[in-house]
Structure 1
C-alpha cells in the first residue's frame, strides 16, 4: 500500500516542517531560515509532497510503488511546455516525460521550475546552488514571475518534493490526487501547522485507522 501525503501552507507564514535542530532525514543540509524570513508576504504558497510504501517500509515519495502515476498526473496539471531543471551539470529545458522521470529519480540536487514564461536561468541556478538564506532574492524573482519551483528534499529512503508558488496550489493538487483511484494507494492532505512533530508527519505509521479531523483522505 502506498501512502501519498500532501502538506500545504497557503499563504506561507512559518518555518520548515522540521526544526533545524532535528536530525530527521527530511532536513536539507546547510543552514536554514524560518520561512517567515524567506517569504515575508502572504502572496506566496508552498506544499510538500511525501510518501510511504507500507509494503516495503520505505519512506519517501520516490519510494512509492506508484510514484510514476502520481508524478505524471501532477506534471500534466501544471504548465507543461516551460519546464526547466537545474541539476549538478547546469540548467536545461525538459520535456514533460523527462520531468516525470526527474520526479521519480532526481538528478543530484535537482530544482525544477515551470510557468507561463521560461524561468530565469540565473535565478534558478542561484536558488539551487546556495543555502536558502543566501538565495531569497532569486527565489522571489522566480515566484514573482509566476513560476512553480520544485525542490528535491531528502527523505529516509529517497526523495520528497517541496513546491513553492505565488498562487495557491492546494486546490490543483487535491483535484489531481483525488482523481487517482489505484487500489493500492491512499492519498491524504493536511496543513503544515498540524504536522510539526515526527509522529504527526508520519501519521501513517500508527494512525490510519483513526484519523484526526485535520487530515483529509481523498
Structure 2
C-alpha cells in the first residue's frame, strides 16, 4: 500500500527569507522603512513524500505509483516551462530524473528565462535555509522552486511558491486515491516531531491532529 503525504505550510513571511545585515546603508534603511509600510508578502511551502508501507520504504520515489504521482503533478504546471541546471525540460518527470539530490527545478511562465542554479542548490553540508536570499528573489518573480531532497530510501520533493497552489495540487492528486493509495493532507505547523512525520508506522488508523485523510468524495 502507498501512503502519500502532502505537507503544507501557508502564509510564511517572505521577509524571513531575506538576509539580515546590521551594517545597512542609509538607502537600505530608507528602503526597509518603505517596505514596512507595505503589506507583508507571504509564501507557501509543500513537502511531498510517501511510504511504501508493506516494504517499509520511506520516500516519494519508493511508491509503487510514483510515476503516476509525478504525471499528475505535471498537470498542475501546464503552460509553464521547467528549468534545470542543464536547460529546460519538456516534463516534470524528465526534469526530476536529470537532477541530483540537492539540486532544483524552477518552474516559470516565462519561456526564455535564466536562473543561477549555483546559488540555489544545496549539498550534504547545507539545507534550503542557507539559500534564503536567492530563493526569495526567484519566488518574487512568480516562479515555483522544487528541491529534490534526500529521503531514507530514494528522495522527496520540497516545493516553494509565492502563490498558495494547494487547491491545484489537491485537484490533480485526489483522483489517485484508491484502496492501495491513501492520501493524507498534513498541516506542518501541527506536526512537530519525527514521530508525527512517520505517523503511518504506528497510528495509521487514528492519525494525529493535523493529518487529514483525503477520500474520493472529499471536497475542499
Compute the TM-score of the two structures, normalised by the length of structure 1. 0.78
Asked which structure has the greater CA Rg, the reply is 2
Specify which of 87, 107, 120 is matched with residue 127 of structure 1: 120
Corresponding residue for residue 94 of structure 1: 89
What stretches of structure 2 of length at least 5 have no aligned partner?
20-39, 215-220
Asked whether the 8 Å contact 1:83–1:118 carries over to 2, the reply is no
Q: How does 1:35-46 map to 2 (within 5 A)?
A: 37-38=16-17, 41-46=40-45
Corresponding residue for residue 177 of structure 1: 173
Compute the TM-score of the two structures, normalised by the length of structure 2. 0.77
Structure 1 segments of 4+ aligned residues over 6 angstroms from their partners:
none
What stretches of structure 1 of length at least 5 have no aligned partner?
14-34
CA RMSD of aligned residues (A): 2.5
Distance 2:193 2:109 in 1: 36
Distance 2:80 2:103 in 1: 18
Corresponding residue for residue 63 of structure 2: 64
Asked whether the 8 Å contact 1:143–1:166 carries over to 2, the reply is yes
Cα shift readout 1:133-160 (whole Å, capped 9, x = no counterpart): 5532221221111111000111100111
CA 1:104–1:69: 2 relative to 1, 3 Å: farther
Cα shift readout 1:87-136 (whole Å, capped 9, x = no counterpart): xxxx311011xx21444685343311112115853433311157445532
Specify which of 153, 157, 172 is matched with residue 153 of structure 2: 157
Cα shift readout 1:16-39 (whole Å, capped 9, x = no counterpart): xxxxxxxxxxxxxxxxxxx97426
Corresponding residue for residue 30 of structure 1: none
Aligned length: 191
Asked whether the 8 Å contact 2:7–2:185 carries over to 1, the reply is yes
Corresponding residue for residue 105 of structure 2: 112
